[in-house]
Every structure is written in structure tokens, then in C-alpha cells.
């Protein structure tokens, strides 16, 4: 069962990108799957939304691992010559933001 869902964004993320994102999350020990987009991305500064599914919030160690994974996701888009997400938002089960990763601040 997936522990984290990655929102698809058909404007910004193609199939190869999604596979790369899922592999990056798998490398930190999370089973990830794509999910339908919840927002309509139309701006230049887009955000990648991911959803934490376990009932318990992620541990501090997991948030640190996710921050590294999100940095790697950002780097993936840069390497591919694509506009990277301006930030990655990790949402909890109740749609609250658990963690916001902004590479400019990292």
C-alpha cells in the first residue's frame, strides 16, 4: 500500500518525470504512487503536491529524508532542462500542510 501520493501535473510532469519522482521517494523507503491532480496549475511558479497517507505523522527523521528527496526532485527537473517546482508541499490526511520545502531557502 502506498505511503505517499504524488499529484500528477500533466503540464509539468511527463511519464519519465513521474517515474523518476517515484524512484526518488522509493530510495528514502517510501512506497509512492501517482494520484489525480487536485489543483489546476496555470502559473509560472508551480508547486508539487504530495500527500502523506499513514495516520501517524512523519517522524523528524522521515521529514529530513523527504527534504533530501524533494531537493533531488528539484535537481531532476533542472537536469532535464525543465522548470522545477518552486516548492514541494507535503500534505497530511486532513489536507493540512505538514512540511513545505522551498529550494531557495534550503
Per-residue pLDDT of the chain (106 residues; tens, 9 = 90+): 789 999 999 889 999 999 999 999 999 999 999 999 887 666 678 999 999 999 999 999 999 999 999 999 999 999 999 999 999 999 998 888 999 999 864 4
Sign of the torsion formed by the C-alpha atoms of 26, 69, 19 and 98: positive
Among candidate residues 62, 64, 82, the one with its CA nearest the CA of residue 20? 82
pLDDT of residue 106: 44
Residue 31, helix vs strand vs coil: coil
The parent domain of residue 72 ranges over 4-105
pLDDT of residue 41: 66
Question: Total structural domains in the chain?
Answer: 1
Q: Which CATH number goes with the domain that contains 44?
A: 3.30.429
Q: Are 61 and 80 in contact (CB under 8 A)?
A: no
pLDDT of residue 40: 64
Overall residue count recorded for the chain in this entry: 106
- Give the cell for residue 85: 517546482
Amino acid at each position: 500500500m502506498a505511503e505517499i501520493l504524488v499529484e500528477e501535473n500533466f503540464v509539468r510532469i511527463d511519464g519519465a518525470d513521474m517515474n523518476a519522482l517515484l524512484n526518488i521517494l522509493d530510495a528514502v523507503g517510501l512506497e509512492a504512487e501517482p494520484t489525480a491532480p487536485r489543483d489546476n496549475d496555470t502559473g509560472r511558479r508551480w508547486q508539487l503536491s504530495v500527500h502523506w497517507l499513514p495516520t501517524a505523522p512523519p517522524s523528524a527523521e522521515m521529514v529530513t529524508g523527504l527534504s533530501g528527496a524533494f531537493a533531488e526532485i528539484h535537481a531532476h527537473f533542472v537536469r532535464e532542462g525543465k522548470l522545477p517546482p518552486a516548492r514541494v508541499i507535503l500534505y497530511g490526511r486532513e489536507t493540512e500542510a505538514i512540511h513545505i520545502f522551498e529550494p531557495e531557502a534550503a
